[in-house]
Amino acid sequence: MSNENITKTFAMLENSSEKLWDMWLVTFGSMSWSQEQIENMGRKYLEQRKVAREEANKVIDELTNQAKKNQQQMQKMIQEAVINAFDNLEIPTFNYIDELSKKVDDLSKKVDNL
């Protein structure tokens, strides 16, 4: 082999090494870009899930509060209905019963005195 052939061979090897190195750099750059994109997608997904979870919790809290309000209103309505029902009934009061007891006692004394 002549010096010229050896020089061409080394030049070709050096050129091939540079191209191989460039391919490795492009490959690693692509892998790095892909990794960044995957991480960004993952972060966006997690953020969307977080927002959805927060919205779901907000809706649940609102429903719970509304259920409590409805329960309180229902309880108040039932109490008012029971109070109205008892007000409309003619149930003797304790004072009325005491008065009747006194009258019976008075009448008993009068009967005994006869």
Task: List the domain boundaries for the chain.
Answer: 3-113
110: amino acid identity, one letter: K
pTM: 0.46
- Please report, to the nearest 10 degrees, the dihedral formed by the alpha carbons of residues 7, 9, 15, 18 taken in order: -100
Q: What residues contact 100, with CB distance under 8 A and at least 6 apart?
A: 92
Assign 91 a pLDDT band (cuts: 50, 70, 90).
Answer: low
pLDDT at 60: 94
71: amino acid identity, one letter: Q
pLDDT at 70: 93
Type and span of the H or E element at 53: helix 3-88
Assign 110 a pLDDT band (cuts: 50, 70, 90).
Answer: confident
Asked whether the predicted pLDDT for residue 37 surpasses 90, the reply is yes
